[in-house]
Structure formats: structure tokens, C-alpha cells
């Protein structure tokens, strides 16, 4: 008898959970189409790729997001985002990992940002700003190919778009000896070249690192110096880690994604 009630309880819990997930997806799908669609580029080093394990995710997080699309970096076409399937292709990280894209998708599903939503990932574990040198850096070339493909797809769909860049980069630069001045100059040059190619009103949101990291002040200064006032430094206060002061875990990434989305809404 006890086993019977336990089984019934488990079934009821799973049924309610599945129903809540279905309701959330249906609600997102039923919202009116926006006039302008958000295209979010996630760019940077390993925290932009994401080093949080998929093993501890609940069932909802592993199912396809029907109103959030990610560019498949192998096929260069948009697909419904599915963690563990198409979220971390060609990002130089092990299989079974995720990054900020999950938090962004959950925010979208909850109604914090309009859908359909489009994501391009250009993270590279071990990457430095010099890898994204406009015109010549290997990661710039890949980023440009992905962004051009994404924009071409949206134009074919007849969907006006608004680009926002989520950045997390600087740990490898500091550890590898990039000077403070060079990091600032390379970050500024990247943003200038990106805007020249993809639009002057693009918003840049960049994560800080742990409180005492020397490049936090550079990130803040570059944002403050933005001539269009379309750049923000994003606090990571309270974010939790996979490994101390380096890679954020899933909860930490979702906390940061929430702040990124808030910054996007405030900067409209």
C-alpha cells in the first residue's frame, strides 16, 4: 500500500510538472509577434561557451525550446534550441555542457523578453581578445560567418532584428599576460568593427569577474566610454561556480542571464 501511494505521488508530481512546462511553452507560443526580433550573440571565452554540466538539469531544460532558436554552428541554420544537442557546437568545450543560452531561453519562456528569440554563439574556450581581432583573428572570421548566416536567414524570413552582444572575456587575457592597455584597446576595436559591420545601435553587455579581478575596471571603463551609451558592465555578484572564481555553474549562469535580460529591457 505504501508503495502504491508513493507511486501515485510520483506520477502526480511528474504530471503536474509536465503540465506546467507545456503551459509555459503554450503561453510563449501564443504571445503576439514582436515588431523587431532579438538576435543575441554570445561571444567570448569558456564562460561564453559555458562549462556548466547538463547532468543536473531538470527535464524542462533539456527539452527543445520551440520559440527560442539557435544557429547550428555546423549547418549555419537556425534550429529550436535544445541543450545537449545544438547549444555548444564548435565552442572548444567538452560535450554535455551549457552556458548563458539556457538562462536566456528560460527568461524568454517566462515572458521577460519577446519571442521568437534568436541566438548565435561564438565562444571559444581558451580564447583571448586577440583571437577576435577584426578581419584577421580566427574567431572573428568564424563569428562573422555565423552572424552573416544568421542575418541572411532573418532577412529571408522578413523579420526585422535588433542585435545585442553578450560578452564574457578577459580571464585568459589576464592570465596570459595581455596588458591592461592592450585589453582595453582590443575590446574597444572589436566593438567598433562589429558596429561598423552590423549596426551602430548595437548594445554590448559584458560580465565582470570575481570582485578583485584586475580587468573589472577595464570592462567598466570601456562601457562608460561608449559614445552611444549602449554598453553595460554586468555584475556577477552572488553567481555560483563549478570551479572557484573561474567557470559559473548553471545557477550562476542563470542569475547572470537574468541580469543581462534586465539590462536589455532597460536599454531599449
Task: Give the pLDDT confidence of 172-214 residue by residue, as tens digits.
Answer: 999 999 999 999 999 999 999 999 999 999 999 999 999 999 9
Q: Is residue 91 part of a domain?
A: yes
Q: Which domain holds residue 40?
A: 21-266
Q: Is residue 16 part of a domain?
A: no
Please determine, for residue 18, whether its predicted confidence score (pLDDT) is greater than 50: no
Q: Is residue 261 part of a domain?
A: yes
Q: Is residue 12 part of a domain?
A: no
pLDDT at 21: 47
Q: ∠ at Cα 69 (67, 74), nearest 5°?
A: 160
Give residue-wise pLDDT tens across range 121-179: 999 999 999 999 999 999 999 999 999 999 999 999 999 999 999 999 999 999 999 99
- Number of domains into which the chain is organized: 1
Q: Is residue 15 part of a domain?
A: no
pLDDT at 32: 82
- CB neighbours (10 Å) of residue 92? 14
DSSP 34: P
CATH classification of the domain holding 141: 3.40.50.1110
Burial string for 136-160 (b: 16+ CB within 10 Å, else e) reads ebebbebbbebbebbbebbeeeebe
Whether 65 contacts 96, CB under 8 Å: no
The pLDDT > 70 percentage for the chain reads 88
What is the DSSP annotation of 143-180? Answer: HHHHHHHHHHHHHHTT--EEEEEEEE--HHHHHTT--H
Q: Is residue 31 part of a domain?
A: yes
Output the pTM of the full model.
Answer: 0.89
Please determine, for residue 24, whether its predicted confidence score (pLDDT) is greater than 90: no
Amino acid at each position: 500500500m505504501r508503495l502504491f501511494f508513493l507511486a501515485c505521488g510520483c506520477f502526480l508530481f511528474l504530471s503536474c510538472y509536465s503540465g506546467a512546462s507545456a503551459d509555459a511553452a503554450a503561453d510563449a507560443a501564443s504571445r503576439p509577434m514582436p515588431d523587431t526580433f532579438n538576435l543575441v550573440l554570445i561571444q567570448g571565452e569558456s564562460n561564453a561557451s559555458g562549462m556548466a554540466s547538463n547532468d543536473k538539469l531538470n527535464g524542462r531544460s533539456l527539452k527543445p525550446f520551440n520559440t527560442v532558436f539557435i544557429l547550428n554552428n555546423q549547418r549555419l541554420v537556425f534550429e529550436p534550441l535544445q541543450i545537449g544537442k545544438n547549444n555548444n557546437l564548435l565552442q572548444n568545450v567538452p560535450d554535455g555542457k551549457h552556458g548563458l543560452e539556457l538562462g536566456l531561453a528560460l527568461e524568454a519562456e517566462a515572458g521577460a523578453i519577446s519571442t521568437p528569440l534568436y541566438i548565435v554563439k561564438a565562444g571559444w574556450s581558451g580564447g583571448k581578445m586577440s583571437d577576435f581581432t577584426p578581419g584577421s583573428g580566427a574567431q572573428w572570421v568564424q563569428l562573422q560567418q555565423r552572424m552573416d548566416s544568421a542575418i541572411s536567414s532573418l532577412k529571408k524570413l522578413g523579420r526585422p532584428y535588433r542585435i545585442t552582444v553578450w560578452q564574457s572575456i578577459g580571464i585568459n587575457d589576464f592570465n596570459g599576460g595581455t596588458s591592461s592597455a592592450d585589453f582595453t584597446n582590443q575590446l574597444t576595436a572589436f566593438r567598433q568593427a562589429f558596429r561598423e559591420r552590423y549596426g551602430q545601435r548595437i548594445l554590448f553587455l559584458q560580465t565582470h569577474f570575481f570582485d578583485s579581478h584586475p580587468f573589472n575596471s577595464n570592462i567598466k571603463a570601456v562601457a562608460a566610454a561608449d559614445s552611444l551609451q549602449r554598453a553595460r558592465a554586468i555584475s556577477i555578484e552572488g553567481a555560483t561556480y563549478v570551479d572557484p572564481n573561474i567557470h559559473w555553474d548553471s545557477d550562476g549562469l542563470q542569475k547572470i542571464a537574468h541580469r543581462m535580460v534586465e539590462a536589455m529591457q532597460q536599454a531599449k
